[in-house]
Amino acid sequence: MLPNEMLIELTALEEADVKMHLDAIITIYNNKKIVQLSDKERQTTPSVSAERYPYVRDTYEAHAVNYPNLLPPFKVFANELRNYHYMNQNRTISSKLDEVNDIIGDHSIAAEYFCYKYMRQVYDIAKQGVDDNVPGADVVVNSIGPLFDQEAKNEPLPT
């Protein structure tokens, strides 16, 4: 639910702490191994989706243990088990990151809404002020007006 107002901001220390912790996560992962997939690789590399996970889990936790005669002889199961544990660690961490991303995203959307709303109020007052020759009103209307003209025409906004 959108709050009535935000009226908050991170202190400099809080912002620095958040950035420091995110940098620490990046450093930990990059110190392990740098993995940078291309967009094509991200789209085409088979992964363990929620639907595939039970089958992968059963392979590692039941089948490989109960039927060692079926393990590939050219692979060391202990190494493959490390990949399985790492996958599970990343799934848990990724879930937490999704939660963080949702929280930050919601805060951003709410703050952006109030910024947009305030900008719109300034513009509307400036439009009224143009007719009365209020100093600066024409500058504000000329500066912000093109945005609303483009939005009215459904044109892409400048970035």
Domain count, the chain: 2
Asked if 18 and 79 sit in the same domain, the reply is no
Q: Which two tokens stand for residue 133?
A: 């020759």
Beta strands in the chain (DSSP E): none
Q: Is residue 159 part of a domain?
A: no
Backbone Cα Rg of the chain: 26
Look at 110 and 2; give whichever has higher pLDDT.
Answer: 110
Task: Find, among 121, 117, 99, the residue nearest to 4 by Cα.
Answer: 117
Q: Is 5 part of any domain? A: no
In this predicted structure, what is the pLDDT of residue 148?
83
DSSP state of 65: H
Q: What is the pLDDT of residue 56?
A: 97
Residue 24 pLDDT class (50, 70, 90 cuts): very high
User: CB 84: neighbour CB atoms within 10 A?
Assistant: 17
35 and 67 in a single domain? The answer is: no
| Claim to verify: residue 67 and residue 83 sit in the same structural domain | yes
> Does residue 154 register a pLDDT over 90?
no
Is there a single domain that holds both residue 39 and residue 52? no
With a cut of 60, say whether residue 158 has pLDDT above it. Answer: no
Q: Enter the tokens of residue 40.
A: 């094509």
Q: Which domain holds residue 31?
A: 10-45
What confidence tens digit (pLDDT) does each residue in 40-97 have? 999 999 999 899 999 999 999 999 999 999 999 999 999 999 999 999 999 999 999 9
Contact 141, 123 (CB under 8 A): yes
